[in-house]
Every structure is written in structure tokens, then in C-alpha cells.
Amino acid sequence: MSKERSCFMENTKKRSFSAIQPSGTITLGNYLGAIRNWVTLQNEFECIFAIADLHTITVRQDPSVFRKNSIQLLSMLLATGIDPEKSLLFCQSHVHQHAELAWVLNCFTQMGELSRMTQFKDKSAKHANNVNAGLFTYPALMAADILLYKPDVVPVGEDQKQHLELTRDIASRFNNAYSETFVVPEPYIVKAGSKIMSLQNPNAKMSKSDENVNGFIAMTDTEDVIIRKFKKAITDSDSVIEYREGKDGINNLLSIYSVVTGKTIEESVKEFDGKGYGDFKLAVGEAVASHLKPIQQRYEYFIKNKDYVTEIYSKSAEIAGKIAESTLRKVYKKIGFLQK
Ligand code: TRP
């Protein structure tokens, strides 16, 4: 184990845990809204990242597509700058303690709590023919993911806040019933402006499941495609480039531009003073394409070097498994299971 890796056992820095599902195309929205923040988090925290593949099967998956999505997500995370020398990056299904602790936590989670989860309500409406028990108990698995590693913080977006709140409740409930076992983690809210909206409907979040492919930018879209999609972006009927309420389309483009160029919104507005929407949209498209280019090149490298990626996630899972096992042992002991 390298020196960097061993810090996972010594706990010198504060720790962060997060996970993302390998459920398909990775969009600019996923990157600007979440993944990019994970990369910078590595400077401050000891970071543990997982791909939440156990969560993904709450919706039926085609095995070969699922495998492809997982390796692509791992490759993309590495390409964006998740550094395996600093952080752990593994598959949830490779660390069996996640499923085991999830069972225990299921017994500390109330039906009423799970029924109040808005994601469950949304997803069960969307997949009405497959409202399975896993979809319902999904938050208990997510709590297990987190609590196994005793992280200080969990970076989450708006949509996962309710699940994290429940995780905190479950952790406190267990701690109160037995004794201090889990760390009750704090949400780490990423700074505003990182919620990227659809290019075709600036009131909806950018999503890979958008029926209109022009609504989202895939991380692997070519420069031409990116520029074409930005050119088609929905704006409004006036012609002033400014950031204000009621200009959702322009606001979204300004946010994207400012994040990928590192300029503030004010600087960006100034830069386009007097320019038309056409020029502006082209500039945003070009800026995004050039920001993504080096990421895409590294992505190609990882996709072609699958063995290397496999080595990274396998080693990480081994280390993660040790941390997870130590937590699980304590939990089992406190519950009163006989010692092996
Ligand atoms: N449920 C999260 C999502 O769909 C993914 C996830 C699983 C997660 N386990 C987690 C996020 C633990 C944060 C912490 O986005």
C-alpha cells in the first residue's frame, strides 16, 4: 500500500464520501454539477468515491449495457481528475459490506420514513410496472454506503438531500440505541450556480433521459455536436445578454460559460456586452468544447486501457473493504450477534 493510500487508515484529513450511479450517458450537467466538485474536494478531504451499481438495479438493466456504463463512468471519473493516488474509487458491488450493513439499517428504518422520500414517489410513478422493494429501501443502502466509512461530509446535490437527512436520522437512532458507533455526517453543499439546466427547457435540470438529445451535452460529444447543440439552445425573445430573473435560458448559458472559463458571471456579461445571442451561443459552445477536450483525450486513454482502470478500482475496493469491515464488525457486536 502506498503512503498516500495508508492515510485512509490513519485518518489525518477530514473524510468525504460520495457515490454516483452508472446509469447511462454522463452529461455536462453531471460534470459541472457534481463530478467537478469532487475533483476539487480531493485537495481538502480524504475522498472516497463509489459507483453505486447496487442502487442502479432498482431499475432493470441490460447486463452488457450496464457493464459498459460502469466502465465508462469509472473512466470518465478518472479522466476528469479523480486521482487514485489520493482517493479511493471503487464499485459498491465489490465491497460486500454495503449490502450487509444495508440489511441491518433496513431494520432501523421505518416504512413511514421511506414512504415520504420524494425520489421514491417520483421513481415509482415513472417505473409503475416495477415498483420493487429495492426502490423502496434504496435510502437504507445509501445510508450504509455512507456510514460504513464514517465520513465527516457527504457532497450531495439538491435531489439527495432528503436521503442524507434520513441517513443522519438512522445513524443517530442506532447511536442512541446502542452507543456512539456511526459518525453523523454533514451535508457538503456545493456552491450555487452549478445546477445546469436543459438547453431545450431551461426550467428542467439537464438530463440524459431528455427525449430531445439537444437538451443535454454528453461528455463525449464531439466539438461539432457541442457547438450545434448550443446554437440550438432555447433563449428568449429579447436580445440582451444579462443575468436576471425571467431569462432562464441565458442565465443557464452564462452559468455554463462562467464555470468552464473560470470567469465570474459579471465578467462574462461584460464580455458579451452589445453582442447578439448567436455570437454568444457560439462562444459558449466553443468554450465548453475546449474545456472538455483534454478530459475526452484522457477518457479515450482510460477506455483503451481497461486493465489499468480495473487495477485502480480493484485496489480501491480492497482498501475500502478493510474500512467497511471494521465498521461492520462493531455494528454486529453492538447488536448482539455472536462473535465468529
Ligand atoms: N443515490 C445517489 C444518486 O442517485 C447515489 C448514491 C448512492 C450516493 N449512495 C450514495 C450519493 C451515498 C451520496 C452518498 O445520485
Active site residue 123: yes
Q: Which of 86, 195, 208, 232 is catalytic?
A: 208
pLDDT at 157: 85
12: confidence class by pLDDT, cuts 50, 70, 90: confident
Whole-number Å distance between alpha carbons of 225 and 3: 43
Asked, for residue 205, whether it belongs to a domain, the answer is no
Whole-number Å distance between alpha carbons of 97 and 326: 10
340: confidence class by pLDDT, cuts 50, 70, 90: confident
pLDDT at 11: 59
Active site residue 208: yes
The reported pTM is: 0.94
284 and 180: one domain?
no
Task: Please tell me the residue having the least CA distance from ligand 1 atom 2.
Answer: 20
pLDDT at 209: 86
Asked, for residue 325, whether it belongs to a domain, the answer is yes
pLDDT at 190: 72
Position 4 pLDDT exceeds 60: no
Contact 103, 96 (CB under 8 A): no
- What average pLDDT does the structure give for the chain? 94
Position 146 pLDDT exceeds 60: yes
What domain range is 268 assigned to? Answer: 213-299
Helix 306-335 to helix 97-106 angle (10° resolution) is 40
Lowest mean pLDDT among 184-193, 233-242, 243-252: 184-193
Q: Which three cell numbers stand for residue 298?
A: 484522457
Centre of ligand 1 from the C-alpha of residue 36, in Å: 16
Asked, for residue 245, whether it belongs to a domain, the answer is yes
Centre of ligand 1 from the C-alpha of residue 201, in Å: 25
Count structural domains, the chain: 2
Contact 155, 18 (CB under 8 A): yes
112 and 239: one domain?
no
Q: What is the rounded average pLDDT of the residues 96-103?
A: 98
Position 3 pLDDT exceeds 50: no
Pocket test for ligand 1, best of 38, 55, 117 (most atoms within 8 A of CB): 55
Task: Please tell me the residue having the least CA distance from ligand 1 atom 11.
Answer: 19
Asked, for residue 116, whether it belongs to a domain, the answer is yes
8: confidence class by pLDDT, cuts 50, 70, 90: low
Position 89 pLDDT exceeds 50: yes
pLDDT at 194: 66
328 and 283: one domain?
no
Helix 133-147 to helix 97-106 angle (10° resolution) is 110
In the structure, which protein residues have their CB atom closer than 6 angstroms to any atom of ligand 1? Answer: 17-21, 52, 55, 142, 145-146, 154, 156, 160
pLDDT at 210: 87
92 and 225: one domain?
no
Centre of ligand 1 from the C-alpha of residue 18, in Å: 6
Task: Please tell me the residue having the least CA distance from ligand 1 atom 9.
Answer: 142
Asked, for residue 207, whether it belongs to a domain, the answer is no
Centre of ligand 1 from the C-alpha of residue 163, in Å: 9
Q: What is the rounded average pLDDT of the residues 55-62?
A: 96
3-state secondary structure 78-94: HHHCCCCCCCEEEEHHH
178 and 279: one domain?
no
Given the C-alpha cell 438547453, which residue does it identify?
A: 199
253 and 144: one domain?
no
CATH number at residue 66: 3.40.50.620
Asked, for residue 39, whether it belongs to a domain, the answer is yes
Q: What is the rounded average pLDDT of the residues 132-145?
A: 98
Pocket test for ligand 1, best of 20, 26, 41, 120 (most atoms within 8 A of CB): 20
β-strand partners of 19? 50
42 and 178: one domain?
yes
pLDDT at 1: 42
pLDDT at 43: 94
Asked, for residue 200, whether it belongs to a domain, the answer is no
Active site residue 322: no
5: confidence class by pLDDT, cuts 50, 70, 90: very low
Query: Which are the contacts of 216, defined by CB distance < 8 A and separation ≥ 6?
Result: 25, 27, 28, 29, 198, 199, 206, 207, 208, 210
CATH number at residue 272: 1.10.240.10
Among 99, 48, 53, 94, residue whose Cα is nearest residue 72: 53
12 and 153: one domain?
yes
Centre of ligand 1 from the C-alpha of residue 193, in Å: 21
Atom number of ligand 1 nearest to Cα 157? 15
310 and 264: one domain?
no
Q: Which three cell numbers stand for residue 290?
A: 475546449
Centre of ligand 1 from the C-alpha of residue 138, in Å: 9
292 and 143: one domain?
no
pLDDT at 235: 95
106 and 242: one domain?
no
Whole-number Å distance between alpha carbons of 149 and 166: 17
313 and 283: one domain?
no
Pocket test for ligand 1, best of 45, 105, 160, 186 (most atoms within 8 A of CB): 160
Asked, for residue 94, whether it belongs to a domain, the answer is yes
More confident residue, 157 or 30: 30
